[in-house]
Structure 1
Amino acid sequence: MTMISIGDLSTQFILRRHNGLLKQDMMRLTQEMTTGQKSDLADALTGDYSYLSDIQRSLSLLDGYQQSTKEAGLFTGAMQSVLGKVQDSTAQLGSDLMTATESPLPGVVRNASSAAADTFRSLVSRLNTDIAGRSLFSGVATDRAPLLDGDAMLDELRGAVAGAVTESDVLDAIDDWFHAPGGGFETTGYRGAGESLSPFQLGESQSVTVNLRADADEIRDMLRMTAVAALAGDTALGYSKDWQLNMLRRAGSEMLGAQDGFTAMRADLGFVEARVEEISTRNAAARSSLEIARSDLASADPYETATELKNVQGQLETLYTLTVRLSRLSLTDFMR
């Protein structure tokens, strides 16, 4: 009978090699148990990274869309807030003007006109609001305020009505300044761009457009009516009491009548806000699904890992026991 044996040195080398391999396996399995992720991703994917790469690409795109969605939400939300304040203040002013025209006291008329001037400055200031250094109502020209300063605009209007002979001439001059092509508002009052903001890209085939600028007809009308009331009691113009009452009454009536149109404009903006929120929710759901898919590709099964770790521990303990016994082996023991 032929026997093949190995020497002590070879035996020691083999034991060390097995010991090293088992320790490596134990470290790998311990890491997988701790992190829940496969330590050797290439082995887990059998060398095919295409699906994982596609998931990573989609997540990167969603990161960009998420930033754009946040910006769109911030922009439209700020716009809606400004327009809400503009509408509230003009609705209140319109009601106050109508009440003032019923009072026989001249001081009430002057106070109402003065309040209208304050409201005009406030409207201009609010419409000149910027967020994160970008003007809201300037179209693509977000680097500058859309409207001339309120006091400067009132000075321009005083110049426009300076030659008016009748009350009708005054109202026509103010109307032309705000609405006539090439008039004062277009050449001096509005300083923004004639082009609206570029669409916000919120998804691969999803975008929203915000076309609202400070030169919108609804906004011009609110400014025009407020300016009429502000100039009515202007002492530098010196209009008669009848003119003042008629101008305040007309401004108040038109201001209240324009609320529906202003509400419709805000509703259109609200639709854009809702669209942004809807797409944002959809993108968040897509991100969650992709992250789960990515985790599934790289995650280690905890039960399988624990079982394998226990087996490796058993093998390592057996190896240690065998090593100890071999190290204590003597010639007498061998002969037995």
Structure 2
Amino acid sequence: MRAIGDLASYMLASRLQTDLRNQADSAAESATTGLAADKARHLGGATLAITLLERKSSLLVQHQRGISEAAVLAGASQATLERIQEQSVDLANDLAIVPQLQNSSQIQALSLDASRVFVDTVNALNSSIAGRYLFSGSATQTKPLPDGAVFLDMIRTDLAGASSAADVLAGVDAWFDALSGSFDAVYQGSTDGFMTLPLSSETTAVFALRADGETPRGVLRALAKTALAESAGLSLPEQSQILEAGRADLLQGDQWLTEERASLGLTEARIADAASATEADITRIELDRLSLIGVDQFEAAAEFEAAQQQLDVFYRIAARQSRTSLAEYLR
């Protein structure tokens, strides 16, 4: 059992060891970060200003995450619209030769190509990223449309009784009509809201294109007309009439897609501006923090070395005392 004096010495030594370690750790942190480890002590207890700065910095970091997510979604949406536009324009260019076609096999080839583009376009409108569907409006967890091949089969089934080019064209127009058509029953996304993401306390990014919007609906209507040309069992002139009508709609859809992509480009610019402003605010806050709790890193490194040296001396003395006590005990 330790004597009272030995116990007091032991407790004092333990406390000294702890103090030296804390000094070394604090000095090491300050030397590494350039900031005071003990903020309250460094500021003499006046911590309100640094607390407010750190709270604002935390909020800005949250905004940064929202901005990064918005940038990813905007970029993915732009890439999707670009792909849809490129395919529809390529098809429209191919359809320019329809008046010169002389046999049904050529008509069938163009119509089958339109079917492929229709399926790809629908599947593109069903794109999702980071768990959010891009074109479902505010219902970001819901896929807006059926799979492309299923969707096209629905239209073919509903228009199976069409017996003329006029019937096919009118039937497709009615199917996609925004007031009474079957398209609205197929679309499963939000019908009264858009996907929005906060960029700052005052700014929000709005992704104002849904799969049920006028532009996607118009492009799909044009593609559906072209895809149904070969399956209607019509004469060559009537099939050509359907293809030409589909091409005219595709050219109109190209203008709409250009406008939608320009609008999305403005959203991307707004996101980029928000990112720059947030980065500038974070930099300014870091400078303000540095002015309040910044320390001389060389001085902190010197303090660390001094604390380490004191710890080394302490450990050497403790080791000698331990050996001495053991020798006394063995007597």
1:169 — aligned with what?
167
Equivalent residue of 2:207, what SS? Answer: coil
Change (3 A) 1:198 1:109: closer
Residue range with higher mean Cα deviation, 293-302 or 86-95: 293-302
TM-score by length of 2: 0.79
Within the alignment, does 1:193 sit opposite 2:190 as a pair?
yes
Aligned counterpart, 2:236: 241
**Structure 1 partner of 2:50:** 52
| Larger CA Rg, structure 1 vs 2 | 1
Superposed, which structure 2 residues align to 1:322-333 within 5 Å?
A: none
Match of 1:78 in 2: 76
Give the equivalent residue in structure 1 for 2:317: none
Shift of 1:224: 0.6
CA contact (8 A) 1:95 1:256 kept: no
The one-letter amino acid of 1:298's match is: I
Determine the C-alpha separation between the residues in 1 that align with 2:158 and 2:263. 34
Distance apart, 1:302 and its partner CA: 5.2
Greater displacement, 81-90 / 120-129: 120-129
Q: 1:288 matched to which residue of 2?
A: 283
The amino acid that maps onto 1:261 is: W
Q: CA deviation at 1:39?
A: 4.5
Does 1:215 pair with 2:189?
Answer: no
What letter is aligned with 1:215?
A: D
TM-score, normalisation: structure 1: 0.78
Aligned residue for 1:113, secondary structure, equals: helix
RMSD, matched Cα = 3.0
Q: 1:113 to 1:48 in 2, by over 3 A?
A: same
> Which whole-Å CA distance do the structure 2 matches of 1:168 and 1:233 have between them?
14
CA gap 1:30/1:70 in 2 versus in 1, 3 angstroms: closer
- In the TM superposition, what is the alpha-carbon distance from 1:269 to its structure 2 partner? 0.8
Instruction: Give the secondary structure class of the aligned counterpart of 2:198.
Output: strand
The more displaced of 25-34 and 124-133 is: 25-34
Q: Which residue of 2 aligns with 1:160?
A: 158
Cα separation, partners in 2 of 1:39 and 1:272, compared to 1, 3 Å: closer
Amino acid at match of 2:199: L
Task: Note if contact 1:160-1:174 (Cα within 8 Å) is conserved in structure 2.
Answer: no
Determine helix, strand or coil for the equivalent of 1:87: helix
Asked whether the 8 Å contact 2:30–2:37 carries over to 1, the reply is: no
Q: Is the 8 A contact 2:30 2:36 kept in 1?
A: no
1:217-261, Cα deviation, whole Å (9 max, x unpaired)? 111111011110100011xx3111111001111111221233122
Q: Return the alpha-carbon distance in structure 2 between the equivalents of residues 248 and 51 of structure 1.
A: 70
- 1:278 Cα offset (Å): 0.8
Equivalent residue for 1:228?
225
Give the unaligned 5+ runs of structure 1. 1-19, 317-336
Separation of aligned partners in 1, 2:69 and 2:45? 39
For these two proteins, the number of residue pairs brought into alignment is 292
**C-alpha deviations, 1:246-293, integer Å up to 9, x for none?**
111111122123312210111001100110111011101111111222
The CA distance in 2 between the partners of 1:32 and 1:123, in whole Å, is 55
1:34 pairs, out of 27, 31, 41, with: 31
In 1: Cα distance, 2:208 partner to 2:136 partner: 10
Q: Which segment is superposed worse, 100-109 or 166-175? A: 100-109
**Percent identity at matched positions?**
31
The letter for the 2-side match of 1:177 is W
* SS in structure 2 of the partner of residue 56 of structure 1: helix
Contact kept in structure 2, 1:98 and 1:253, CA below 8 Å: no
DSSP 3-state at the match of 1:199:
strand
Q: Which residue of 2 aligns with 1:276?
A: 271
Q: Secondary structure at the match of 2:199?
A: strand
Query: 1:87-98 to 2 correspondence within 5 Å?
Result: 87-98=85-96
Q: Structure 1 residue 180: deviation in Å?
A: 4.0
C-alpha distance in 2 between matches for 1:203 and 1:228: 44
Matched AA of 2:271: V
Structure 1 residue identity aligned to 2:239:
Q
- Decide whether aligned partners of structure 1 residues 89 and 52 sit closer, same or farther in structure 2, where only a CA change above 3 A counts: same
Aligned counterpart, 2:323: none
- Name the CA shift for 1:263/1:43 in 2 (closer, same or farther; >3 Å): same
- 2:140 is the alignment partner of 1:142: yes
Aligned counterpart, 1:16: none
Q: CA deviation at 1:28?
A: 9.1
Counterpart in the other structure of 1:132:
130
Tell whether the 8 Å contact from 1:101 to 1:248 is kept in structure 2 after alignment.
no
Q: In the alignment, what sits opposite 1:299?
A: 294
Aligned: 1:203 with 2:200: yes
User: Which of 216-225 and 190-199 deviates more?
Assistant: 190-199
